[in-house]
Amino acid sequence: DIVMTQSPATLSVSPGERATLSCRASQSINNNLAWYQQRPGQAPRLLINDASTRATGVPARFSGSGSGTEFTLTISSLQPEDFAVYFCQQYYKWPFTFGPGTEVDIK
Amino acid sequence: QVQLVQSGAEVKKPGASVKVSCKASGYSFSTFGLNWVRQAPGQTLEWMGWISTLHGNTNYAQNFKGRVTITTDASTSTAYMELRGLRSDDTAIYYCARDDFYFDYWGQGTLVTVSS
Summarised one tens digit per residue, pLDDT across range A62-107 is 999 999 999 999 999 999 999 999 999 999 999 999 999 999 998 8
Contact A94 B107 (CB under 8 A): no
Nearest of B114, B107, B89 to residue B36 by alpha carbon = B107
Contact A89 B104 (CB under 8 A): no
Of residues A43, A91, A98, nearest to B109 (C-beta): A43
Question: CB–CB of A71/A93 below 8 Å?
Answer: no
Nearest CA in chain A to B100: A91
Residue A46 confidence class, pLDDT cut points 50, 70, 90:
very high
Chain B residues in contact with A45 (beta carbon < 8 A): 106
**pLDDT score at A106:** 87
Residue A20 confidence class, pLDDT cut points 50, 70, 90:
very high
> Does position A13 have pLDDT exceeding 90, yes or no?
yes
What is the rounded distance in angstroms from the CA atom of residue A65 to the CA atom of residue A71? 6
**pLDDT score at A107:** 86
> Does position B113 have pLDDT exceeding 90, yes or no?
yes
SS3 content of chain A, % helix, strand, coil (to 5): 5, 50, 50
What is the rounded distance in angstroms from the CA atom of residue B36 to the CA atom of residue A80? 30
Q: How far is A98 from chain B (nearest CA, A)?
A: 6
Of residues A44, A95, A96, nearest to B106 (C-beta): A44
Average pLDDT over residues B27-52: 97
Question: CB–CB of B104/A55 below 8 Å?
Answer: yes
Of residues A34, A43, A100, nearest to B102 (C-beta): A34
What is the rounded distance in angstroms from the CA atom of residue B40 to the CA atom of residue B82? 17
Nearest CA in chain A to B106: A43
CB of A88 less than 8 A from some CB of B: no
Overall size of chain A counted in residues = 107
**pLDDT score at B65:** 82
